[in-house]
Structures are given as structure tokens and as C-alpha cells.
Amino acid sequence: MKARLILASTLIPLGLIIAAVPENTTKPYKLTADELLEEVKSGTQFIGPDQVADMVISKDRFLQLIDVRSAAEYEKFNLPNSINIPLVDILNTEWEGYINQDVKLNVFYSNGTNDANQAWMITRQLGYKNNYVLQGGLNYWAETVLNPEAPASTSPNEEILKYNLRKGAGMALGGEAAETAPSIDAPSAPKPPVQKRAAKKPVQGGC
């Protein structure tokens, strides 16, 4: 019974997201609804805030952050070096060169996850493969990167390491709470791996 409830709580929001995807009147879709649903259920479109923060700080040239909120929201706050492609304009040919390419790793983000996930589903249905979604959106970004919660001193080393990485990232990216948050001693560990796609062709189009 519990497994059914978990599955229902996952599929119902996904159904609402799929229903909200704007009608495509410009290009034929390459994935069926069933194929897309299978990919959505796998969750492989999500990239965690820790990995994105690491790429931002290291100035990874393969990363392209794409803010799908309105221009007004983007002007108030945005992630470093991001570009603004509002969800309502995602099918505009002006932006095709940015979202249909295999040079950079695109990460869609919005305040939560729904709008960014819609952008990913639209581009994925068109057959574009190098687009992803910031897990949890800006809300989770603020919670984990800009304002990390210190674990107890008795927490496992991996939790302490994760906290110290987040604190450092938050300080580098302007998090106010991270500047005064205490560091906790723990053995050093390698940074989380960063996925990169091989460059094949230059980006076309855009403005």
C-alpha cells in the first residue's frame, strides 16, 4: 500500500506537468508520451545543487545555466553567468541554438522544479539530449548552498564533508548565512564528479 501511495504521489504531479506543456506548433515531437514518462520516472534529468555549485565555482566552461522564469524574476535574482529563456519562449527559434547543441551541459532552473522540468520535457520531446534540471530549483539552492544547516558534531564524516563543501560554496557565491556558519573538522575527500559531454559542434543561433 505504501509503495502505491509513493508511486501515485510521483505520477500525479508528473501528469499535471505533462498536461501543462504548451502545444508544439513548430516542430514534430520525436518521443512519445510513454517514452518521455519513462525518462521522467528515472529522474536522470536532475543535477544536484552541490554539483552545479562546484561547476560554477570552478568556472566550468561546459556549464550553461538557463533561467526559465520571467524576465522580471530574472532581473531580481539569478545564478552567476546564467541566461534567461522564459518558459513561454522555449520554442522560439531564437533560442534553438542554445538548447539544441552538444557542446555545453545546459541546466534549466526556476524557483521550484515544475517550470524547469516542463522546459526539459519540451526539449526532450524534440529530441534534444544535453539539457538537465537543477534539482529543487532556487528554493533548494538557497537551502543547501547559500544557507547550509550545520550537522551535529556526531554526524557521519560524509555529512560533515558535504556541509563544509556547501559552506565554502555558499561563501563563494554570496550566501550571507554561510559566511558566519561554523566549519566542522572532518577528513578530506574528493569533490563530487562533474559530468561533461564531449564537444562535437559549435553553438548556432541565439542573440
What is the pLDDT at residue 14?
53
8 Å CB contact between 161 and 192: no
Collapsing DSSP to helix, strand or coil, 83 comes out as strand
Sheet holding 131-134, edge to edge: 46-47, 131-134, 105-109, 63-67, 83-84
Q: Is the pTM of this model over 0.85?
A: no
- pLDDT (tens digit per residue) in 106-128: 999 999 999 999 999 999 999 99
What is the pLDDT at residue 175?
59
Confidence of residue 204 (pLDDT cuts 50, 70, 90): low
- Placement of cell 510513454 in the chain: 34
CA distance 129 to 33: 16
26-137: CATH, from 2.70.70.10, 3.40.250.10, 3.40.50.261, 3.20.20.80: 3.40.250.10
What is the pLDDT at residue 139?
93
CA distance 64 to 196: 12
Residues of the chain with pLDDT > 70, as a percent, come to: 71
Average pLDDT in the chain: 77
